Amino acid sequence: ETYFQSVPQAMDTLLLDGILADYAPLMHAIPAGHFIEWGLILFFILLASITIMYMLVGVLVEVVGVLAHAEKENITVSFIASSLRKKMQQQGHDQDSELSRTELQDILLDPEITEVLQSVQVDLVALMELVNIAYEDAEK
């Protein structure tokens, strides 16, 4: 009976004490009859709440996007590694032994491996240059 004396009083009670309970003391401190102040403060509270909600949604979307990108990259790396291992086994290379520069270049220039690398947009020319640089550094 105290909170629901009339329809406007019931709406006020449900809105402030039910939905916006944290802000109810502030809203109840506004004297009766000051509808403009009440409306402005309510508008500010709702606008701030919605803004924070959209910011949190944006953070969640960004996190999901970063995780999806990382997972896609992990899948791509696994696919390339398994393709290279399979090709090495087909050619009779021991996976535990070191590859010479020519063996690695032969594997990377194999048409099947070239197709796999191009499907994930690996720059083969740059990769071959990196192989040469790595072996030159190892020889020094």
Q: How far apart are CA 12 and CA 80, in angstroms?
A: 63
What is the model's pLDDT at position 47?
96
Q: How far apart are CA 105 and CA 109, in angstroms?
A: 6
pTM confidence score: 0.61
What is the model's pLDDT at position 139?
73
What Å distances lie between residue 102 and 67, 96, 107, 131, 132, CA to CA? 37, 17, 9, 10, 10
What rounded mean pLDDT belongs to the chain?
Answer: 89
What is the model's pLDDT at position 31?
87
Half-sphere exposure of 41 (CA within 13 A, CB side): 16
Q: Summarize pLDDT for 5-62 with one digit per residue, the tens.
A: 889 889 888 998 888 899 999 988 988 888 899 899 999 999 999 999 999 999 999 9
Residue that the structure tokens 């063996």 belong to: 103
In degrees, rounded to 5, the angle at the alpha carbon of residue 8 between the alpha carbons of residues 42 and 50 is 25
Half-sphere exposure of 82 (CA within 13 A, CB side): 6
Residue 121: which region, alpha, beta or left (left: phi > 0; alpha: psi -120 to 50)?
Answer: left
Q: Picking from 94-98, 102-106, 110-114, 127-131, which range would have the lowest pLDDT averaged per residue?
A: 94-98
